[in-house]
Amino acid sequence: MRPAVVHCTRPPLEALLPVALVVAAACAHDSPAPATPAARTPAPTIATAPAAPPPLEATVQRLQQVALASKNGERLARSLATDVGARIAGGPKDRAAIEWALRAMKEAGLSRVRTEPVKVPRWERGAAAAEIVGGQRLRVLALGGSIATPARGLEGEVTEFADTEALEKADPATLKGRIVFINQTTRRERDGSGYGDAVGARFQGPRLAGEKGAIAAIIRSIGTDAEAPHTGATSRKATVPSAALSGESADALHAVITGKKRTRVRLSLQAEWHEDADSANVLGEIQGSEEPDQIVLLGAHLDSWDVGQGAVDDGAGCAIVLEAARLIGAVGHPPRRTIRVVLFAAEEIGLSGGDAYAKTHAAEAPLHVVTMEADMGTARAYAARFLGSTEARPHFERIAAMLRPLGIATEARDAFGGADMGELRSLGVPAFEIAQDFTSYFDVHHSENDTVAKIDADGIAQTAAAYASAAWAIAQMNDGFGRIPEVKRGSKW
């Protein structure tokens, strides 16, 4: 695709701030407060040769005041979820999502707005049905990337496992011709660790089941609610049809298995792989004034699964980074370094966008100062984490301290940095992570319940304030974060 390059002007930060907050901010910084909005001297813009910038902490405080008073992040998340909706990579809404992203970046005042082509996997879901033979129907959803059952469906005796570790130990002779059922519960944890512990059942479980001679794999959904089945990618090495049950259906199946020696399930899945499709990453920038080749990268993923509206995963993330960039652009003078926003293609079904970005920009990797990815939903942020050189820790701690007025603590544990940033992490690019509360996130994640009704407007505003604050501060500081030590460059996944 030919890049679309757009240059836009932005209103100054004070123009976005309610009058009462302008007066309070001015008094706080020993500046005379304007008598009325009309008497206020306009803040300098990029085009008017700005005066010396205010102290870093003062600008961050103003950014946070404006961000917390804004509903623009919520508006963006709702717009993507309602105007585009579910947007699986390469699917019928893929092009509409890209066009939405281009418009949103222009509206945010970003420059050099453009697309970079990406080939993405193209998988299409069809109907799904499951039932206990002689018993009740089960709520079921095919896992992303699953193959189809025969047109007439399939039927088999079920063998239950508590987790993938138990499945790995199973004798293949005992599973030949059977349906594997992995009944692993996802713990509800603020830091999302329950998901991290359970997700292997979805991704590796079907592959293991096929390798051991099973004819299908069903799992308890990797989610913390009971009602809806949750999809999500499974390994493309899986050779058997694979599906997820709602929590209630998993409990029902477990009860039948516990009460009987033999339990059979009938499963029907329609699904199809197509040739890889054309898609794109969407990029826009705030050009740096002194070190324009050095990049602070803000990312989120544009695609979603094909159920629900993709409002929380990752409409919220797209809204957070776009709103952060809009706020930074309104400061009135450009940052020292360039701030680049990337909305990645195909995170959900293969990380194609993140991988393509790292390949396209490999020569720039040493110039990427830090990555920040928003893919944690719509709840409030509560912790800042870092992954970079040990020597750079004091720089991180200074910036993280600026987030404390937002209720965000500094944590010593290493940042993960986000799935789309995995290849850049392997190249040593540091990560600054703003962790959001995952307590309720996995109630809706990858399910039909990921809708605009689940958007937390205050959470988006607070998290956008944190991203804007950290990105501005990083772009302004003289020092960088070094490189990630070799031993820490691998992905958790």
**Tokens in use for 6?**
């757009």
- 368-373 vs 409-414, strand pairing mode: unpaired
Nearest to 313 by CA among 322, 323, 302: 302
Q: Secondary structure of the chain: what % helix, strand, coil (to 5)?
A: 40, 25, 40
β-sheet bridge partners, residue 181: 160, 218
Distance between CA atoms of residues 332 and 44, nearest Å: 5
> What is the DSSP annotation of 205-255?
HHHHHHHTT-SEEEEE-SSS-SSS----B--TT--S-EEEE-HHHHHHHHH
For the chain, report the end-to-end CA distance as a whole number of angstroms.
31
Which entry of 14, 131, 160, 347 is annotated as an active-site residue?
Answer: 347
**22 torsion bin: left (phi>0), alpha (psi -120 to 50), beta (else):** alpha
Nearest CA-CA partner of 403 in 431, 382, 386: 382
DSSP H/E element including 131 = strand 111-132
Does 448 participate in catalysis according to the annotation?
A: no
- Other CB atoms within a 10 A radius of the CB of residue 366 amount to 12
Catalytic residues: 347
